[in-house]
Structures are given as structure tokens and as C-alpha cells.
Amino acid sequence: MNGWRDVMRVAPLGAAALLLAACTSAVEEGRQRESAEAQLNLAQAYMAQNDLRQALATAQKVLEQDPKNIDAHVLMGQVYHMERRWEAALAAYQKALALDPRRAEVYYLMGAVRYQEKDVAGAIQNLRQALAIPTYLTPWDAHLFLGGILLDQGKVDDALTEIRKALDVQPEFGEAHNALGYALLLKQRNDEAVEAFSRAVRFAPTLVAAHRNLGLTYVQMGKKEEARASFRKVVELAPPESPLVAEARKQLADLGGDGPAPAGAAPAGPATAAPAAPPGVPPSGPR
């Protein structure tokens, strides 16, 4: 051997081998990320089709490849949420937050689960945690949710504050206008309630609850023709088997000019606000 000359020849070869290994590792990691992303997209597609078993199995495969994939933890939480497996949903959401405590939408989702569990204080805390994060892109969701909870508690003025905050950041949010109208109706401010319900049906033309609430308010005000128009929209938009259709037909019969109510039609109840807990699972993704 030639001493240091041999060392100098070998050293570049060793460095090249290390570089090749590093490149190979980076390529493999890139492939794994692409595979995990594709699997996550597939899981989301399964969930959109309400195939919860396949969505859960696919999300688990993502986590086998990438245990720190926050979106996979969130998606698993949503599947458990839809299956009404509250503890499992909370555990999945908490894993996501352990990886990134600034994911505002996860606090919102946890609030929805806690509300389902009748943990109202916990739900309110989670919603306020979501709202405290400046990067939360759809805070109107949490403001409306809080408003609905406060309405359920009879705290109408506090509810109005939250609902108006939702509308400050999303002025065309039909469900928030519906909730605003309901709160105003509780305060016997009928004219303002009509304005709010009218905005609700303008911004969300298929929101059946808003048409129904508008009709009931017109009935209270003695405006029969306007009430008839609203109840006709309920009949047009709601599924035929919906109790709201039976109620609307009864209202139309009582108002005259639209035929008899169906047998067993229930009398009208009070106007309804947007639900405190949104039906199903709120959308995922960065907010």
C-alpha cells in the first residue's frame, strides 16, 4: 500500500457510497409520503361514500407508513365520530393535537364530540380554544356552534353575540342568519326576525328550517299570504316523509287555499335555530 495515497483514494469512494445511500433513503421516504397521501385521499373518498369500515382501514394503513400523519389521525377521529364511538374519536383527535397543538379544526371537532357526550362545559372550552388560534380559517363555524349551545341554555343575549360574530366574518352564512332570526324571535322582535330569516333563505335557498321559521313568524304576525309562500317552499324542498312536510301541509290547510292537511299531521312547534351541534361530522382539513 502507498499509505496516505490509498487513504485519499478510498475516502472519496466512501463519501460517494454514503451520498448514494442518503439519496436512496430520500427517494424511499418520498415514495412513502406519496403512498401515504394517496391512501389518505382514498380514505377520504371512502368516508364521503359513507363506507366507514374501508375509510378506517385505509387510514390505519396510512398510520402504519407514517405514524405522525396528523390528517390520518383526524380522519380516524371523524370516522369514530360518525360511528358514535365518542371515546375513540376523542383519543384520535388528541393524538392529532399532540403532534400539532395549533390545529384549530381539531378543537372544533373535539367540541362537537363533547357536546354529543353532553359535556357542555368541555364543548365550550374546546370551541373557545379553536377560536383562540389566529390561523383558524373558518371561525364562523365555532361562533355559530357556541351560539347554538348558548341558545339551548337560554342565554339569548350571549347567543346573539356569538351569532353576530359568525356573521361578521361570514356575512352570507345562511345558517347563522337562521339562528339569528330564532334568537330575535325569542326576544319578540318579530320584524327583525323576519329580516334575518329572509336573509337565511336568500343565502341558503335550500335551508328548510329557515323557510319553516319564516312561515311560523309570518303566522304570528298575521301575514297569511307570506306564510303560505314559506310553507309551500318547505313542502317543495323537504323529503316527502319529513315531519316538516306534514306540519307545513297542516299550516297551509289552516291558512286556507292549499287543501286539507294529511291525517296525523302534528301541530306546529316553535321555530328552530340552526342546530348547536352540526349534523354529521364537520369538514376536516387545515382551517
**Identical fold at 33-126 and 138-278?**
yes
State the pLDDT confidence band at 17, using cuts at 50, 70 and 90: low
pLDDT for 77 beyond 80 = yes
Model pLDDT, residue 71: 93
- Residue among 46, 44, 47 at smallest CA distance from 71: 44
Looking at every residue in the chain, the average pLDDT score rounds to 84
Is the domain covering 33-126 a CATH 1.25.40.10 domain? yes
Residue 268 pLDDT > 90: no
Residue percentage of the chain with pLDDT more than 70:
77
d(CA 257, CA 254) in angstroms, rounded, equals 9
Fold of 138-278: 1.25.40
Question: What does the pLDDT read at residue 259?
Answer: 54
| Residue 181 near residue 164 (C-beta atoms within 8 A) | no
* Average pLDDT of the residues in 28-34: 54
Domain ranges of the chain: 33-126, 138-278
Higher pLDDT, 255 or 284: 255
**Least trusted range by pLDDT, from 25-29, 123-127, 227-231, 236-240:** 25-29
Write out pLDDT tens, residues 131-171: 999 999 999 999 999 999 999 999 999 999 999 999 999 99
* 57: amino acid identity, one letter: A
